[in-house]
Structure 1
Amino acid sequence: MKGALLVNLGSPNSTSVKDVKNYLDEFLMDKRVIDTPYLVRAFVVKGIILNTRPKKSAEAYKKIWWKEGSPLIVLSERLYKKVKKNSDIPVELAMRYGNPSIKSGIQKLANQGVTEIFLIPLYPQFAMATTETIVVLANKIVKKEFPHIKITDVPAFYNNKSYVEVLSNSIKRHLEAEKPDHLLFSYHGVPERHIKKSDITKSHCKIDGSCCNTPSPAHEFCYRHQCYQTTKNVAEFLNLKEGTYSTSFQSRLGRDPWLQPYTDQTIDNFAQNGIKNLAVVTPAFVSDCLETLEEIGMEAKESFEENGGEHFSTIPCLNDDDTWAKTVAGWINNWAK
């Protein structure tokens, strides 16, 4: 029997400093998030970050927390319910960090007699710290706890026509309503070394402005290429004029070089150079979360206005959009045939 498991990032159980600290500990100690030797990672995370960041992060979560709980969890559950309603096979929801866990999601499917799982990481672009860590953990759990179950994971869907269409149409509705001077595609950043580590050719990725546009097998696992391609796909679908849109990367951490240009600097530069009406979309996420609601919707908006901008709008993630839910259910049903 076949079943599907949707997996998103996850969230703290509450906005308490204790719960945020537990969440950050699990998240940042993942060797695919902070890819340093264990002892170095433990020193940085447990010795430094967890002594200072949880309180600040808890305050940020409080700004965006809903009565029902974490926006990411609530929105993921809404999407899950709609996908389940339109699917021909059992579907469950899990989070990479926090609850509900991947193990619990697999267990629920196993209890329904599922022996083959279609694993859907809810990330359009492949990255070590997102898609890969989900796939690796799910397979590890299955090997240890559910050896009778087979897992098939969906590849990065940034180039999938149905995804591009539903994303583009959601952006189109916003552009028609807001009529911004410029549209910024802001993707979650990753360290440059992650891009090179994911290069299966071990030679193509140079992050030099040209490698992402040069065809290569490396693109199958190149987050940077897939982000730029997502922007290109939407721009072509909507016939956006060159110069009216651009791409940047947010949420950098630490001193190592991360993917550029940086979103915060880009937004400030737009305001300082005469862009008065700016719209920002965040296509690395399918569900609104701390990085979209607080970092972009609050911090970036405030900075844009302080630097001379007048109108700043954020385009919601796909969340539980009906067409998006039917698209995901369609992938599941096609696989299950």
Structure 2
Amino acid sequence: MKKGILLVNLGSPESPEPKDVKKYLGEFLMDERVIDIPLVARAALVKGIILKTRPKASAAAYKKIWWDEGSPLIVISERLQRGIQNKVEVPVALAMRYGSMTIKKGLQELVDKGVEEVLLFPLYPQFAMATTETITVLAEELRQAFFPNIKIESVPAFYNKPDYIEVLSNSVKRHLEGKQIDHLLFSYHGVPERHIRKSDVTKSHCKIDGSCCATPSNAHEFCYRHQCLEVTKLVAEKLKLKTGSYSTSFQSRLGFDPWLLPYTDRTIERLGKNGVKNMAIVTPAFVSDCLETLEEIAMEGQEIFHEMGGHEFTTIPCLNDDAPFVDLLSNWINTWVTSNT
């Protein structure tokens, strides 16, 4: 069977104009794995409230970070795809979960090249309902409806793979070289606490009580919170960070339900108030820089820190299309390609 790769990232509006942002947000927020409430209530919330107010503000944020070539997330993902294609012998396509670069188009591109076995590669180190799961579920629905003759295998969360931790740690070390940093903050995208409980395959382990993520369990295979905390721990060990010199937080909450704590903006505020003068922040839930890293962290986060008396605020870029990251993913792909052949 001829093999092929489909890289999948989140997606982006077609432009930073409010009409395109509204269309994108509508598709994103109506996903039942993003806002996981009944359809009628979800439609009332998204179409009746959020889409009447949020697109204008989000469009203004997108305009701050938009590149001449287009959406940073799209441009970087395309660079990553080209870099990998240069190092593997099988076709590599790129798709987005939301927006015009659909998963269906990506699968069709591979099928048109004769591919019969697809490695679906969600570009998320950690598993979450609103990221990995929504991609794999949609891909399977599309396979059944339009591509019944192909086989799809999905890459599981790679948050704790030693070679990934090595690449991530080296990136952090490289970007902090020569800097005197008082505190390193690991900021991950937030999710509602109920997502953690819904993903608990044991239906009893995840209590979000400060201890369950450190207690071995089968639930950890699909526990976003555990996987985030594990990345922080593994990178801290790799870099020999001192206890108290780093911490974990979660960003980008929406609505009034409880989300994972502590919140990134409040953590930055607290660090500044407590006398931290030089801090750095890394965002390991993202592999590509995007609105959440370029605007929410690098701009808004820095502003909060300076308002609280902080001096130097260092934003560590995502792995993006860095050569070591391209090599890492290419090696994983080549291993898969040569297996069972």
Give the superposition deviation at 1:180.
1.1
Matched to 1:121, the amino acid is: P
Q: Deviations over 1:87-110 (max 9, x none)?
A: 121110000001311111000000
1:277 lines up with 2:270 in the alignment = no
SS at match of 1:170: helix
Number of the residue aligned with 1:204 = 205
Q: Deviations over 1:109-163 (max 9, x none)?
A: 0001001100100000000000000000111111100000110000000011111
Give the superposition deviation at 1:280.
0.3
SS at match of 1:316: coil
Number of the residue aligned with 2:322 = 321
The TM-score with structure 1 as length reference comes to 0.99
Matched to 2:65, the amino acid is: I
Number of the residue aligned with 1:231 = 232
Number of the residue aligned with 2:62 = 61
SS at match of 1:201: coil
Number of the residue aligned with 2:331 = 330
Q: Deviations over 1:155-187 (max 9, x none)?
A: 000011111111000000122232211000000
Matched to 1:98, the amino acid is: G
1:165 lines up with 2:166 in the alignment = yes
> Aligned partners of 2:8 and 2:196: how far apart in 1?
22
Q: Deviations over 1:244-267 (max 9, x none)?
A: 110000001110000000000000
Matched to 2:49, the amino acid is: I
Number of the residue aligned with 1:262 = 263
> Aligned partners of 1:145 and 1:308: how far apart in 2?
57
Matched to 1:184, the amino acid is: L
Number of the residue aligned with 1:31 = 32
Matched to 2:194, the amino acid is: R
SS at match of 1:86: coil
SS at match of 1:249: strand
Matched to 1:207, the amino acid is: I
Structure 2, unmatched stretches of 5+, are none
> Aligned partners of 2:29 and 2:49: how far apart in 1?
12
Number of the residue aligned with 2:142 = 141
Matched to 2:67, the amino acid is: W
> Aligned partners of 2:145 and 2:327: how far apart in 1?
33
Residues matched between the structures, number: 337
Matched to 1:167, the amino acid is: L
Number of the residue aligned with 2:297 = 296
Q: Deviations over 1:225-248 (max 9, x none)?
A: 000000011011111111111000
Number of the residue aligned with 2:222 = 221
Aligned CA RMSD, in angstroms, stands at 0.6
> Aligned partners of 2:233 and 2:161: how far apart in 1?
13
> Aligned partners of 1:75 and 1:274: how far apart in 2?
36
Q: Deviations over 1:56-98 (max 9, x none)?
A: 0000000000000000000000011001111121110000001
Number of the residue aligned with 1:186 = 187
> Aligned partners of 2:100 and 2:294: how far apart in 1?
21
Show the 5 A alignment for 1:113-128.
113-128=114-129
Matched to 2:22, the amino acid is: K
> Aligned partners of 2:177 and 2:69: how far apart in 1?
31
> Aligned partners of 2:165 and 2:115: how far apart in 1?
31
Matched to 1:112, the amino acid is: K
Number of the residue aligned with 2:109 = 108
1:74 lines up with 2:75 in the alignment = yes
Number of the residue aligned with 2:152 = 151
Matched to 2:297, the amino acid is: I
Q: Where do 4+ consecutive residues of structure 1 move more than 4 Å?
A: none
Number of the residue aligned with 2:20 = 19
The TM-score with structure 2 as length reference comes to 0.98
> Aligned partners of 2:148 and 2:86: how far apart in 1?
29
